[in-house]
Amino acid sequence: MARNAEESSSQTQRPPTTPYARIRSRADPLLIICRCFSFLTALVAILCVFVNALSAVRSFKNGSDVFGGVFRCYAVVIALFVAVAETEWGFIIKFWRVLEYWAGRGMLQIFVAVMTRAFSDVSGERKDLVLLQEIASYLLLACGVTYVISGILCIGFLKRARLKKEITREQAAKDLEELERRREELEALLIEEGRS
């Protein structure tokens, strides 16, 4: 009886040899690259928001370029939408299904890049602002073109399939952990019942 209790206590103290630790440790390189690129695109879109907001304030301060200021306000709103869309928030994707597809997302980014570059300061008064506009617009243009090409090559479809597989794997690992925890609880209960 004492030997059985020692064996059962050694069984409960040993580390579980279940495969869920290995399941969680593997990360898909494609998903990591896609997340990094989304983060970079969101940062560039926020830079476009900042640049267009500065240009709008400057346009309204001068008073002579009210239409340019309104145009910049629209650019701020759409660039902010691009940044939020990069988070792939379910609410946005639900109502704007076209943003689920990379070609559509890239076209929106190209549109914001063109809006950021349009109506730059031709008088040359604010060269720093014009330089910032060009940097932001060309960076977002590059991200948009990359998205369009990747969408045409069906990389977005591949990413969604791998993401679904990763979510399924994580859910399976959680279920396995729960079963392991429940098994340990039942073993402990059996040991207690055996002692009494």
Q: What is the pTM of this model?
A: 0.70
Identify the band that residue 125 occupies on the pLDDT scale cut at 50, 70 and 90: low
Domains of the chain: which residue ranges? 28-156
Structure tokens at 18: 């279940």
C-alpha to C-alpha distance for 133 and 131, rounded to whole angstroms: 5
C-alpha to C-alpha distance for 59 and 63, rounded to whole angstroms: 6
Structure confidence by residue, pLDDT tens digits, 83-98: 988 888 877 777 877 8
Unique residue bearing structure tokens 């997340």? 35
Structure confidence by residue, pLDDT tens digits, 35-85: 899 999 999 999 999 999 988 888 888 776 778 888 889 999 999 999 988
Cβ-based neighbours of 60, under 8 Å, separated by 6 or more: 66, 69
Characterise 63 by phi-psi region: left (phi > 0), alpha (psi -120 to 50), beta (else).
left
